[in-house]
Chains A and B, each alone.
Chain A
């Protein structure tokens, strides 16, 4: 039996070395590029987890595979195997050692978590999630934006909420994820470190538009960030006057995820040439699209459903759009060409 044990152990160590090398040294194969300081903390522990997975897998599979190979019986053989019922010492060992490992992992996990969630921050960004788009407010600069611009090297505190259902804020390269919940403010902390363009993706099923609920994230140098802020402040003052451009911007922000402008159907009907169009509703009526219908469709979408489309348009635009934004949007839609 001792010979068997040593041979099995040899198999385990070979497997462990191979799998351990694969997971620890080639960790970068398994994860996308890293772009935040908090993400580095996540990756460090994840790498340890993968190494442990590799080693424990090798341990169990090594002994199992060795047994399958070395301890074969024959179907006609009536000889039993070793008559052992258990071993108190082994039970103790393989209870206490795993207990030690999980307690150790928990201790490191607590430390990492507290570090990730410490409340100091250099910049506050308020995030508003809704079906199916994101809006960002920078209270320090009094600007709002549909794109998330961030400077490198500053710890950002995201104060987040949702207007309708639960969404979740997640940029893969930042690693950190946190749900946005209606009626609550939730928090995430990220210190971006690598300049570039990233994609924010909603990570909690929120309806028909969930898969494509994306936001654009731009991480730039602190100087470029200041320049962008100034540009936004100026642009938002100017936009207050230009209703048409404002309307198009609102359309892109809130409507484009489900409605196209080129005639092609999407989750919702295309809005090309909407004014004056004969619209067939699911209850069989046909109505002519006028301004009243367009307004009603935005503020109370369940009132009339277009035939052939699911009744999934969110009812939150009444809350999300200011009176000026709504007027601008309606004006924009009224003059879309055939």
Chain B
């Protein structure tokens, strides 16, 4: 118990509470009547994040440098602390940070999924049964933003754990920055939790003027997302620096594992675009706190005093979607990289079109910056912009298609086996297919005038998210579980997980899409019975419960097997990748003997290996 209280997590949370209360007291001293007003809430939220940062230990080393104290990064638990303590505190090992991110992702996805079950119960019948509208609107917004946070942490889990190992590196380029990028998520998410209780009614997209007008929960929502954004930016920077500077000898760019390419493309986006959502959200907070009118056409007293021109609601949407569209490629590019990484292993043949897949990832990242207007086809944006954005949006289908056809080429003529990771890879492929194919009707302006803001869109993005992130993430967890823990997961439970979840997900997806086509809008607590979608909504609710049950089985499997699973071999999948050539669990220093790249990553069945361990003789042969 003593150890729990000294973990970085607990200390940080206490620091956050202290910071918040301090902020409230200061605001009271300055004359605020209630802490629930926007000014005090903003100040208290900001101080709460500072409090977390100071108390958790995530900036301690850097503060020490300012004071002239330099300590080398610790590579073990501090004296007297058990090994598990490292996972709940600030630690610099990329493998520990990867697991921290990975478990956080499962927790966030689990919380957001549980909240979904609450509003799904309300939606299974028409009428307002148990959730008042303000609560419903808050829950759907919370579901959205917490899922996004879960996806971002899941992406960071895969990137941080795997990239150094796949490159043959000892750790990431900047281990302390890595730890900071993980821990900054916690105070940010806690602010979003506060928003759940204070409530806000804009959904996760936070559009003003409603965002300026709505309940006080909007403040911790906007600020929480702003804070979480730093994790993406700094994590991406670290990945790019690591790939540029820390590849093993012989690892040219086109001899990297394909997953690393997908993380490079992802990081380019996360590094450069995240600032836009931070900016747009901060501007709405400034509107609320100081009466500024960037997005509000009605001038406040403050704006009149400043002689400001009237604001424009569409400006927010441009700023917001300039990030939030590329963001979806941050969500799916790593998952598509996982599919590319695992198919060769389970087909025992090379990845078909490796260079094309790598270049397609970069193409998706690039073109993804040019399409944001398709979220604004009904917004009142100019017709010229709508037409331009339609051309660019439909163009993204081409590199995505290239990946799909190369995956088919990878499977063709293979020796396929179907352990659980492969099942989830194939599931991902089929689900991302329907998700992606449901995109062009939205990308064409005329048809989108019908589909926008309906449940068809809800179906589209759930399918792309499940296919592009959830299923590949699950596949990755099963696949690397023996490497991370040294034990094997239970294969039967894994298959049960897959066969429960997949038909349920298809039911949910098709049900949502059809409900939208039949006229059901999104973000509504109550729908008109005359639309005839009640049966579909009941089916979607039932499917959601089955998905939840399947995920519970998954988490049980992981927890049980980590402790009681059969001890795993170092390379259960007979992979050629560097991390499978070293023991399980991975030793602290990763590669006791450095690796050297001597062949192609996916030449399964060929005598030349991909990597060997450097020896004096090998060095002399170079």
Interface residues of A (CB under 8 A from B): 1, 4, 30-32, 39, 41-42, 45-46, 49-50, 52-53, 56-57, 60-61, 63-64, 67-68, 71-75, 77, 79-87, 90-91, 94-95, 98-99, 102-103, 105-106, 109-110, 112-114, 116-117, 164-166, 168, 170, 172, 175-179, 181-184, 186, 199, 201-212, 214, 267, 310-312, 315
Contacts and interface: CB of A to CB of B under 8 A. Distances in A.
A64 B426 contact: yes
Contact of A73 (B210, B354, B416): B416
17 contacts: A39-B450, A42-B447, A45-B444, A63-B408, A67-B412, A84-B349, A86-B352, A91-B406, A102-B395, A109-B444, A109-B446, A113-B386, A114-B383, A181-B314, A182-B209, A208-B132, A267-B133
A113 to B, nearest CB: 5
Interface string B526-544: 1110110000000000000
Contacts, number: 288
B133 A211 contact: yes
Given A75-B417, A79-B415, A205-B201, 18 more contacts: A49-B447, A64-B411, A67-B408, A68-B418, A72-B415, A84-B352, A85-B351, A85-B600, A113-B386, A166-B209, A172-B519, A181-B313, A182-B313, A184-B312, A203-B453, A205-B137, A211-B527, A312-B134
Interface in B395-454: 395, 397-398, 401-402, 404-406, 408-409, 411-418, 426, 429-430, 433-434, 437-438, 440-441, 444-447, 449-450, 452-454
Interface of B: 128, 132-134, 137, 199, 201-203, 207, 209-210, 213-215, 296-298, 310-314, 347-356, 378-380, 383, 386-387, 390-391, 394-395, 397-398, 401-402, 404-406, 408-409, 411-418, 426, 429-430, 433-434, 437-438, 440-441, 444-447, 449-450, 452-454, 514, 517-519, 521, 523-528, 530-531, 600, 603-606
B201 A312 contact: yes
Contacts of A30: 514, 517
A207 B413 CA distance: 55
A308 to B, nearest CB: 10
Nearest to B521: A203
A178 B380 contact: yes
Contact of B313 (A56, A166, A202): A166
Given A79-B415, A182-B297, A212-B526, A53 B438 contact: yes
A179 B133 contact: no
Contacts of A81: 347-349, 413-416, 604-605
A164 B414 CA distance: 60
A82 B209 contact: no
Of listed B209, B353, B408, residue having the most chain A CB within 10 A: B408
B517 A165 contact: no
A41 B447 CA distance: 9
Contacts of A31: 517-518
Contacts of B386: 113
Residue among B203, B517, B525, B530 with most chain A CB within 10 A = B517
Contacts of B523: 205, 210
Contact of B415 (A80, A109, A175): A80
